[in-house]
Amino acid sequence: MAQYLQIAVRAVGVGAILVIVAVASRQVYLRVAAEAGSPGGEEDPAATMLIRCEAMHSHLQNRRISEGAVDANEKPSARCMES
């Protein structure tokens, strides 16, 4: 019984260390992202989603997908705001 308790204590200890490392690395990432001004730091999630949507639309337009699929006159931000 003592062996199982020792294994359980070690597992909890390793789990706690992993959680501490994950939280610390997330904080470092957020700090670096906020300093760099990139989306993902402390920016509004809706603004981040709009940026990603516009990037995906521009990527799709550059790939030359089927002619009728994307209206070339419509701005990506207009399409993204609708969705």
31 with 57, same domain: the answer is no
- 76 and 48 co-located in one domain: yes
pTM: 0.42
Between CA 15 and CA 9 the distance in angstroms is 10
Instruction: For residues 57 and 79, state if they share a domain.
Output: yes
Residue of 79 and 28 predicted with greater confidence: 28
Same domain, 35 and 68: no
Q: Is the separation of the CB atoms in 49 and 56 below 8 Å?
A: no
**How do residues 24-47 score in pLDDT, each as one tens digit?**
999 998 888 777 765 545 567 777
Cα angle 53, 55, 57 (rounded to 5 degrees) comes to 70
Residue 49 and residue 71 share a domain: yes
Q: What pLDDT score does 67 carry?
A: 47
Same-domain status, 48 and 34? no
pLDDT one-digit tens code per residue, 43-73: 677 777 888 888 887 777 776 555 445 455 5
Total domains in the fold of the chain: 2
Q: Are 59 and 82 in contact (CB under 8 A)?
A: no
Q: What is the pLDDT of residue 53?
A: 84
Does residue 32 sit in the same domain as residue 57?
A: no
| Domain extent for 8 | 1-39
CA distance 7 to 82: 54
- Asked if residues 34 and 42 have their Cβ atoms less than 8 Å apart, the reply is yes
